[in-house]
Chain A
C-alpha cells in the first residue's frame, strides 16, 4: 500500500492548526506560546542578566543559554521522568545554535540571555514548536534581532514528501519514513537547524527542504501577526 492520502486528511503541504501568542508569562522579560496541532510550547526569556559562575562569562559578548524540557505529563505514553535526559540536552543545544544567528549579544558582555522552553503537551515536532516560541519570546524581550527563526519538520512517508509530520506519520510502518526538522531565518532563507533520521535520497531531501522553506514562510507570518497583536499601535 502506498501512502496516497495522509492519515489525518491533511494536504501534503498542509500544516496543523497553529495558535501563537506573545507575552503570556508576566514575570519573564519576554515570553510566548506556540501551539501546532497537539504540540504545545511555552518559552520565556530572562536577561540579559549577570552570568555566574564568573568563569563562564565572556568579556567580548553576552551568551545565549537555551533549555528544552518536556513536562512529566506531556508525552502520550508513560510519564516522562523530570530532569535533563540525553535527548533534552541535545535538543537544548541544537535549539541554542538555531537561535543564535539572529541575535547580536556583543552589547552585553559578561551577561547571559536565558531561554526556557517548556512543553505541556507534545505530539511530534516539539523542538520546532519550541524554537518558534523561543524566537517570538526573544523578540518580546526587546533584543536586537536580524530576523525571527521559524521551524517545522518535513519528511518523507513511503513515497510522499510532506510537511509537519504528526505522530501517526512518524510511526508509519508500511514504508520508509524520514523525519527532517528544519529551522530557518525566513527573510534570508538560511538554515539554522537541520536534523534528519530515516532514509531519503538527496533529490528528495532537496525537495523536502524546499517544502520546509515554504512552510516556514507561512509560520513566520503567524509569528509576526502574534507579535503585532501585542505591539501594534492602535
Chain B
C-alpha cells in the first residue's frame, strides 16, 4: 500500500538518513518530561518526543486485594487513542492498538517491580491501593510506545497519596507520602525496515516497517518486558541487535527523566 514511501525510506537509510534527516538510531529532539501538570490527578506527567506529546495521569482508589495476594495492591494501565491526536484514530471502545499499548506499558512497570505492590497494602486481605494509570496522547507524530512508557514512569514518580479518613479517600488533600518507585523501567521500540534498524519512528515510518521490538529495561540493563510487533519475522541476530540498541538508547531516555 505504501510501496513508494517504503522504497524512499529504504533509499534514505542506505545513506544513513531518514525522512526528517535523522540517523537510524537517533531520537527526535527535544525529549522533555514535565511532571505534576494536572492537579486533579494524584500524579501526572507530559512527555514530548519531537512532535509527539503524551499525557499520563495516575488516580488512586481503594479496593480489595486479589484472594491469592492478600497483602498486595496493584496497578492498572489504560490507554485511549484519542481522535484529537491523530486523524486516523476513531471514537469508540479501545481498539486493539490501544489495548496493546496499555498492556506493554503495564508489563514494563509490573515486571520490573518498579512499584513494590506490598507497599500498596492498607489492611491485609481487606484494603489495598489500586493505582490506575491512564495514557492520553495529545499529538501522535509517531512512537507512542516509548513516549507513553516514559510518561507513565514519570507520573508514578510524581504520585502523592491522598488523605484517607474512615476508609474513604479525601481526594482534595494530598499527603507528603509519595509513591515509592524503586526502578526506572524505560521502553525503546526498535523497528526493522529492510535490513536497517531504526528507533523512534515517525508516523510515516510506522506505516512501512517490517517488524518492531519494544524493549523495556531498567537502569542496570536488566530486560523487564519485550513485545514484537509487525508482520515480518525477526532472526535471532536481529533480536540481539535490537535488544542492545534498546538498552543503550534507554539510558538516553532515562537522562531526560532525571533532568
Q: Answer yes or no: are A and B bound together in one complex.
A: yes
B132 touches A79 (CB 8 A): yes
List the one stretch of B36-44, B105-113, B229-237 in contact with chain A: B36-44
Nearest opposing residue in chain A for B92, CB measure: A83
B203 to chain A, nearest CB (A): 8
B184 within 8 Å of A (CB atoms): no
B39 touches A38 (CB 8 A): yes
Rounded to whole angstroms, the CA-CA distance of A120 and B57 in the bound complex is 9
Given contacts A72-B78, A73-B40, A77-B171, contact A27 B61 (CB under 8 A): no
B134 touches A73 (CB 8 A): yes
A46 within 8 Å of B (CB atoms): yes
> How many A residues touch the partner, as a band?
20 to 34
A82 within 8 Å of B (CB atoms): yes
A71 touches B87 (CB 8 A): no
A118 touches B139 (CB 8 A): no
A215 to chain B, nearest CB (A): 24
B211 within 8 Å of A (CB atoms): no
A82 touches B91 (CB 8 A): no
> How many B residues touch the partner, as a band?
20 to 34
Select which of B39, B51, B132 is within 8 A of A72 by beta carbon.
B132
- Find residues 112-161 in chain A having any chain B CB closer than 8 Å to their own CB: 114, 116-118, 120-123
Extra 20 A-B pairs, beta carbons < 8 Å, given A25-B139, A27-B87, A73-B134 = A25-B85, A26-B139, A27-B51, A27-B85, A27-B86, A27-B139, A42-B84, A46-B83, A71-B136, A72-B57, A73-B38, A73-B40, A73-B59, A75-B40, A78-B61, A82-B134, A114-B83, A117-B84, A120-B55, A121-B40
Binding site for A on B (CB under 8 A): 37-41, 44, 51, 55, 57-59, 61, 78, 80, 82-87, 91, 93-94, 132, 134, 136, 138-141, 171-172, 203
